[in-house]
Chains A and B, each alone.
Chain A
Amino acid sequence: MSHSDPDIFMTHGDRDEMKLDEIEIDLKNPLVAAVLGWLCPGAGHLYQRRYAKGILFMVCILATFFYGLSLGGGHVVYASFGAEKHGTAAKSWKRFLSRWHYGCQVCVGVPAFPALVERFRMDEGKDPLLGGWMTPPYGPESPENPGGHDQLSDWHSELHFFFEIGTLYTVVAGLLNVLAIYDAFGGPFIPTSAEPETPPPEDEES
């Protein structure tokens, strides 16, 4: 292996420690770090005392997420699972597929949870929290929507391009956090050569 290639060492049967050149990384409990990293981007690295990377992940991912949320008028994440159909909450995969982006957005963790909470509260007929700021869109026949408009369509019509670009930003933020979670779980991904090291040439005379 050449000098420029990073040397990675893991202890036998254990993924908790790795050595990257002269840098020794203590991954502590990788599963805990991964869960923390999912709940809040960068938190897994902070738990592992990898502060610089933790702060870098936290700033980049959360800034991307909240910038996208603001571009989308605060609706692009909480427009989860589509609108109600004919005044009743359609509990099926169709509702998820109509807003599949949430599957990526939820990888950011806690900031995307209010969408689920508010959707379940709406399904059970409970009042929304925080003045309804994070509620999903009402359907055209919902009693809470006397105008009779499909609120999700109204948001699209009102925000145009910004609804799409806001959705894109929040989806990318979620996907970036998948990379960060993997880094917290397994350490930096260094592609290593699949070829085995060539043994030193044997002395022909001996």
Chain B
Amino acid sequence: MLPLLFADSFQRFWYLFPLLVAISFVYAATREELMRPILHKAGAVALWILGFMAIIFAILFGVSWLI
């Protein structure tokens, strides 16, 4: 799986991470007021998004491998 992420066709996945950071911080900042809770919430949101996308990725990868 790891070499796959560095393959040319998967290079575009790296553009996900700046968006992930921005979305996590902005979403967390609309739920909290102080910086410390915002940071904690942003980390949790980022992990949640990553986990959700990893599950979807695994499902689609498995389906494409089966077909």
A and B bind: yes
Task: Give complex CA distance A48, B33 in Å.
Answer: 13
> What total of chain A residues lie within 8 Å of the partner, measured CB to CB?
29
Within the complex, which residue of B15, B21, B26 is in contact with A179, where a contact is CB–CB below 8 Å? Answer: B26
Within the complex, which residue of B22, B27, B31, B38 is in contact with A64, where a contact is CB–CB below 8 Å? Answer: B22
Complex interface residues of chain B between 23 and 44 (CB less than 8 A to chain A): 23, 25-27, 29-35, 38
* A189 touching B31, Cβ below 8 Å: yes
- Chain A interface, DSSP helix/strand/loop, else mixed: helix
Tell me which residues across on chain B come within 8 A of A169, comparing CB atoms: 18-19
Contacts between the two chains (Cβ within 8 Å), count: 60
Size range of the chain B interface in the assembly:
10 to 19
* A176 touching B15, Cβ below 8 Å: no
A182 in the interface (beta carbon within 8 A) = yes
Interface residues of A (CB under 8 A from B): 20, 23, 25, 50, 52-53, 56-57, 60-61, 63-64, 67, 71, 161, 165, 168-169, 172-173, 176, 179-180, 182-183, 187-190
Interface residues of B (CB under 8 A from A): 12, 15, 18-19, 21-23, 25-27, 29-35, 38
